[in-house]
Amino acid sequence: MKEVLALIEKRKQEFAQLSFFKYLQDKSIDPRQRLAWVPCLTPLVMSFRDLNRYNFRKEPTKNPIQTLINIHTYEDEHHWIWFLEDLEKLGLDRLMKFSDSMKFFWGDETSKTRQVFYTIAQYTFQKEPIVALAAVESIEATGNVGFQLTVPIVQELQKITKHNYRYFGQYHLRVETGHLTGSNDCEKFIENIELTAEQKIQAFEIVEKVFDLFSESVQEMMVFAQKYPIEKPFIFTNSSVNSSEICTSTTTT
């Protein structure tokens, strides 16, 4: 498993160099604008809850790898609650027709982000626990990169809004270590797992796929943030939606 973890670390370092993360670090940009992409994250966060419950978790099990995955899914599956709290504090929990929200979440603006967990679920369905483990480790690595950079942004916002942000702040980062959680010797156990040649191929494949998916997703979010400045309202661009239909701005607090 050490070779798989080495690949994850390599892809993590490459992932951290994407233009989206440079955008998050640009303090010349209003902190609210640097979080203008947050609505696009909704399908991913809520799908993550289902991925943990219905895909990664397999009970009962006597497999030690699956046991660690199961423990991790229970810790991870409730983070969406913090996300919804932050949506409200960021001023995004405003009245919108239910049908309008569906057009957005299943529209062109979030198409790449929606594909993240659809594809991960497909690649890990009925595979050995080691494949799911490689996927979880990769997901955790991408999250760690992002949350390291959202923490300073919400710290800036806290001075303006007087709100604490659990999902995008230090509270979440403390549990997003970049690795699967389970026990104190979890990381050592994972490193020492011996893989067959076929398991290694499948693990490498899912690692590459996860990082490719998240790279496309954050690029999509950056396009959204640059397209909709905080002083302008968000207009649906899905071809099936009337272009004159305007929603409340998604970024003002």
Confidence band for 242, pLDDT divided at 50, 70 and 90: very low
Residue 237 lies in a domain: no
- Residue 169 above 80 pLDDT? yes
- Residue 249 above 60 pLDDT? no
- Residue 182 above 80 pLDDT? no
Taking the CA atoms of 104, 234, 90 and 30 in sequence, report the sign of the dihedral they define: positive
- Residue 58 above 70 pLDDT? yes
Residue 244 lies in a domain: no
Q: Which residues of 55-91 are buried (b: 16+ CB within 10 A; e: fewer)?
A: bbbeeeeeeebbbbbbbbbeebbebbebbebbbebbb
Residue 239 lies in a domain: no
Q: How many CB atoms lie within 10 A of CB 188?
A: 9
- Which residue in this structure is represented by tokens 């046991």? 67
Q: What mean pLDDT do residues 48-65 have?
A: 95
Residue 236 lies in a domain: no
Write out the residue range of the structural domain in which residue 47 sits. 2-227
Residue 187 lies in a domain: yes
Per-residue tokens: 192: 């020492």
- In this predicted model, what pLDDT tens digit does every residue of 195-217 receive, in sequence order? 999 999 999 999 999 999 999 99
Residue 243 lies in a domain: no
- In this predicted model, what pLDDT tens digit does every residue of 126-167 receive, in sequence order? 999 999 999 999 999 999 999 999 999 999 999 999 999 999
In angstroms, what CA-CA distances link 149 with 131, 157, 191?
28, 13, 27
Long-range pairs of 228-234 with CB within 8 A, sequence gap ≥ 24: 228/36, 229/33, 229/36, 230/30, 230/32, 230/33, 230/36, 234/39
Task: Please give the backbone phi and psi of residue 127, each rounded to the nearest 5 degrees, phi first.
Answer: -90, 165
- The C-alpha atoms of residue 2 and residue 174 are separated, in whole angstroms, by 24
Q: Are residues 28 and 228 in contact, defined by beta-carbon separation less than 8 angstroms? A: no
- Residue 241 above 50 pLDDT? no
Q: What mean pLDDT do residues 10-28 have?
A: 98
CATH code for the domain in which residue 191 is found: 1.20.910.10
**What does the mean pLDDT of the chain come to?**
89
Quote the pTM value.
0.89
Residue 183 is predicted with a pLDDT of 53
Q: How many domains does the chain have?
A: 1
Confidence band for 229, pLDDT divided at 50, 70 and 90: confident
Residue 153 is predicted with a pLDDT of 98
Task: Please give the backbone phi and psi of residue 195, each rounded to the nearest 5 degrees, phi first.
Answer: -110, 145
Which residue type is seen at 181?
A: T
H helices of 35-108, in order, are 42-51, 64-76, 79-89, 98-105
Q: What mean pLDDT do residues 231-237 have?
A: 51
Residue 73 lies in a domain: yes
- The C-alpha atoms of residue 79 and residue 94 are separated, in whole angstroms, by 21
Residue 247 lies in a domain: no
- Residue 233 above 80 pLDDT? no
